[in-house]
Amino acid sequence: MTGQVVATVGGVAVSVDEVDAREARLRATPLSATLPAPGTSEGRQLRRWLTQVLVTERVVVSEATALGLSSDGSAIPAEDRLLPDVTARLEIGSVAAAALAAPLARALFGHVTADVEVTDDEVAAYHHRNPLRFVPPSADRHGWRRKAADAPLLDDVRPAITAHLRAAARRRAFRLWLDRHSAALVRLAPGYEHPGDPRQPDNTHKH
């Protein structure tokens, strides 16, 4: 069904050909052996996920253009700064994480989250709950590394806690912003619903 519309973003169609092309590129990578077989329930879920990535990329371009942002400039944060580890990618979600591979998406992230900060009370509360979180292990006289036994003063770890909480808050703010704008702009065709939509037949999270 060449030319079939799988979604629209702001009224502009996303065709099944684009999903086919994105899937073909993915299956041509070393990841191919780990991907589900085409035509299976899991294979259809993969295509739904790829559709989500495609429409999210369209939302990013649309909103970044409206804001006058570009993908040029040294101020754009690096991908590994925004998503330094697996935990960060899980926090923001796989679709948003995939979108942030593009410099324009990272420019949008920077714009949307520029004013996100954390309070002194939040930093103090985190330190109270996790007193040893940012204490580096020390070496004993035999060279063995061991965890510190005593919690540091808050002021000694305040910069590290603040950076940690601010980064998490900015990821959360961007994910929520992206969810709102996607809900307003994106319309999905039957068969290309969100992978987590409980109404579609291939959703595996049944209760």
pLDDT at 140: 58
pLDDT at 207: 42
* Per-residue pLDDT tens digits for 1-37: 457 999 999 999 999 999 999 999 999 999 899 999 9
pLDDT at 144: 59
pLDDT at 5: 97
Q: To the nearest whole number, what is the mean pLDDT of the chain?
A: 91
What is the C-alpha separation between 101 and 93, in angstroms, rounded?
13
Name the residue ranges covered by the structural domains of the chain.
5-188
- Residue 157: partners with Cβ closer than 8 Å, 6 or more residues away: 127, 133, 134, 135
Query: CATH code for 5-188?
Result: 1.10.4030.10
Give burial (CB, 10 Å; 0-12/13-18/19+) of 4. middle
Residue 72 has pLDDT above 90, yes or no: no
